[in-house]
Chain A
Amino acid sequence: MKEYRFIGKPTPRKDALDIVTGRTKFINDLTIPNMLYGKVLRSPLPHALIKSIDTAEAMRLPGVKAVHTYKDVPDWMGGLPLHVRVLDNKVRYVGDAVALIAAETEDIGEDALRLIKVEYEPLPAVYDVEEAMQPGAPQLYEQFPGNILPQGIPAFGPHSLQEVVIGDVEKGREEADFIVEGTYAYENIPNPLPPESPGVIAAWEGTDTLTVWSASQGPHMIKVSLQRRMGSINLHSIGNPVGASYGSKYMSWQYVLPAAALAKATGRPVKFCYGRSEHLAAFTVRLGSRIHGKVGMKKNGDVTFLSGDWLVNTGAFSETSQAMVAVGCGEAQLMLRCPNWSLKPKVVCTNRTASGQIRGFGGQELKCALLPLLTMAMEKAGIDPVDFFKRNYVKPGDGYYWRDGNWWVCRGTDYTKAIEQGAGTFGWKDKWKGWLKPTSVKGVKQRGVGVGVHGNADVGEDVSEAYVRLDPNGTATIYSGLAEHGTGQRSNICKMVAEILQLPLDRVSVTPNDSRVNPYEMGPVGSRGTYAIGSAVIAAAEDAKRQLFELIAPKFKVKAEDLETEDGMVYVKGKAGTKIPWIKAMGYDRTVMGRGRFEPDFALPNFMMIFTEVEVDTETGKVDLIRVVGATDVGQIIDPPGITNQLNGCLGSAGIDTALFEETVIDTRLGRIMNPNMIDYKWRTFSELPEMEHVILETPFPSHRFHAVGVGEIATAPGPSAVLMAVSNAIGVRIHDYPLTPDKVLSALGKITTAKRRAK
């Protein structure tokens, strides 16, 4: 393998010093002179019409500068398709926005909320995805009969993927040796729960220019997607360091539009940061996912068909659920070689807080419901799941329909080696005793193992643009709208440029995240940072280097291709003895600007397999996660500590632990979330860490000059179904009701009887 100076070497993050000294300014650490604070009055009812709303008293409170209700708020819309007003005369979930307030302090704003008098006409509410589709069910939106949202997403093109229909399911049925069928669901709607709640500051200059500071994972997309919705304004988007997002804080009109409305009404900057309970109770959670499905399999483990209805509960509105359905449908095909498909999704609204994008983006939600069905078939065929996945995971030359509705043929890597090495490191052969067989039994402690898989071809999704500017003093500046949300990607693109230009790392920097400065950037989502964003940055650096050499070549009387540069000096290849600094070659009065652009490419799926070992206490029903081994092949590691951090992330942010204890609990009598705080919403602590190990192979990938591909986004997705399998094997009984809390384990063991929990 090629030895690099920076790539593949651990280097300190560029933002490390600011982070460890507390100097990093997250959105809520910023204050703008003359700034007001925005607050939102939220509905106590899951479904109601606002009969009257009286804001006079709130308006009279000293320090209150503006109050908006549905009567006077600008008519800006969000949702996919656009269907959600900033404020409406109807509320659709407990926590829905009823009124907005801008006040001199947060305390005054909170006090003023209590002075608004609202009279509601309650309407019946519906929470279950299938009940919502029944005739006579409460209707959330007039334009969506049966609460079913239209499919498709314009951003994915005219043929965006809406289902998987391939081959002939009837034929598959005839060829099958076994057919299994059932209903499985992943509906505990966990919260990704970044430590920093969503937040924004909005300030107008005149009536046509809006500046937005936000903790967004894709700040440039706030500009691109939201400025059109506010008339033809110019939105100038500034991205702050993101106190994590895990996908959830992206375009986020839910808070940008209210802040912009209040800033417009008051003529002053307005900051609006969600409080923690507000974040947990009224911001986005994962999709609810339920499948009524059938799978046919041959004795040798070949899948002959897969058919089913995939019912997606998006809550009170769709942030981007149809896009997640499209990507989920693509990802199912990456996992499964099957000639005959009929997987039909429906996206349905219900009266709970909305679902939105979270890492795993539809694929995790689909897979968590689909795998229990597939494993039933594997059990019937007596197939080892590792062998099954090895056989089925997409290989170079295999095709699939991706989100744009086009048929793509994989030209990536064969992940067989990663699977085998992962299994070896985990000790799968020794620990796997067959379906529903524990690995070991010691008194009341029974252990079991399980495995899950995931992959995504979105590593090459969408467009990225970047510039690289060379200055005569031997420095390079990357112009990129890439947000730092924890992966270290802003540092990684510096490493790429430093490598290409052979500059010390401290001479390469990235511009502030400002849409007035930087070109188009979709953002680091879907693991696209390494390949898509990396490719644009690499192209820009190469372009800059070429221009530099063309400028200098005449001075040396050689061709541009004969030149080389190192540490800000240029020399003729093979004659490193005679070097001149860039400034001498360029002059002090010149800069060189290289440009790069990446065009979408869906032919390079990434891959992640997760092996888990659990221990179940059959007396208490408690499940302990003992060991996790991740296996992947990333072509080339860019930053070793960066990638292990990202892969360790498989536990949190609505990942593996959604199989064990994470859930958003809704009281369906009142429509309220019962655990909107960090005591009742459970999360893993330092004292309960499983052993964690990763097998990361580096088989050069046909991506860009560093042969790398990103994998971070998918770290969470294979875990939950792997845990389900492990617990079932440990206790010898199939169990599939996420999360596997002690009561469910004990009832599966027949030790207690519990009423089945209502679906959400």
Chain B
Amino acid sequence: MTPTHENPSHPTLTLTVNGKTHSFLLGEGSHEVPPSHTLAQTLRERLGLTGTKISCDHGACGCCTVLMDGKAVLSCMLLTVECEGKEITTIEGLGNPVTGAIDPLQQSFIDHTAFQCGFCTPGIIMSAKALLNENPSSTRDEVKEALSGNFCRCITHYHVLDAVMAAAQKGGK
């Protein structure tokens, strides 16, 4: 039987992260995932995927954005137990796993210096990636709207818009 969150007594949880499937025991023990842990905590603390950042821890800033089944979600607002059977992509999982080449969107961020401190950058890239997956030729206003939940205190917004638009114009390629 596949464990699901409808069956909370089941002690394991399966997640696919960046193409790799992980099974976790649920519980409070030191090698288990506590039911109170957010997806962001599990990614960072259990899987060492620290590219996903926690800033507000409150659903406000978008720094913790990852893709879940291709859609942008806030990993600080999801309990790991709610993610049973989901496919998660983090910033570490972008790009080509075979060649190791980075995603064109990441390259565009480099080309446009679309970051300053870079703390918000993984979340912004993941939000933008979700948008371009859905609509590869988004307009500037659509990009603004899609990123309106992403905080950037350094005010790199203008360069980010240029970077995302450049990637969009290439059809996300």
Contacts and interface: CB of A to CB of B under 8 A. Distances in A.
B58 A679 contact: yes
Given A22-B50, A22-B90, A244 B151 contact: no
Given A241-B118, A486-B118, A649 B155 contact: yes
Contacts of B122: 20, 22
Contact of A678 (B56, B107, B109): B56
Interface stretch (B4-12, B19-27, B77-85, B156-164): B156-164
B158 A692 contact: yes
SS class of chain A's interface: helix, strand, loop or mixed? Answer: loop
Nearest to B122: A22
A20 B119 contact: no
Interface string B31-45: 000101000000010
Given A195-B119, A648-B156, A678-B55, A20 B113 contact: no
Contacts of B157: 648, 686, 689
B44 to A, nearest CB: 8
Of A19, A23, A25, A642, most B-chain CB atoms within 10 Å:
A19
A27 B49 CA distance: 14
A196 B110 contact: no
Contact of A195 (B51, B53, B148, B160): B53
Nearest to A63: B30
A311 B132 CA distance: 52
Contact of B151 (A28, A486, A651, A683): A683
B14 to A, nearest CB: 23
Contacts, number: 170
A677 to B, nearest CB: 6
Contacts of B61: 195, 678
Interface size class of A (residues with CB under 8 A): 35 or more
Interface in A668-719: 677-679, 683-687, 689, 692
By size class, the interface of chain B is: 35 or more
A107 B34 contact: yes
B144 A689 contact: yes
Contacts of B70: none
Interface string B115-159: 111111110010000000000000000011101111111111111
Given A29-B50, A648-B155, A689-B144, A244 B113 contact: no
Given A13-B110, A245-B117, A678-B55, 16 more contacts: A21-B92, A21-B95, A22-B50, A26-B50, A26-B119, A28-B50, A195-B152, A244-B119, A244-B153, A486-B116, A486-B118, A641-B112, A677-B60, A683-B151, A686-B148, A686-B157
Interface of A: 10, 12-13, 15-17, 19-26, 28-29, 107, 192-197, 241-246, 275-276, 485-488, 639, 641-642, 644-646, 648-653, 677-679, 683-687, 689, 692
21 contacts: A19-B118, A20-B121, A21-B102, A21-B106, A22-B50, A29-B50, A194-B153, A195-B119, A243-B119, A244-B116, A276-B55, A486-B116, A486-B117, A487-B116, A641-B112, A645-B113, A649-B154, A678-B55, A679-B60, A686-B143, A686-B147
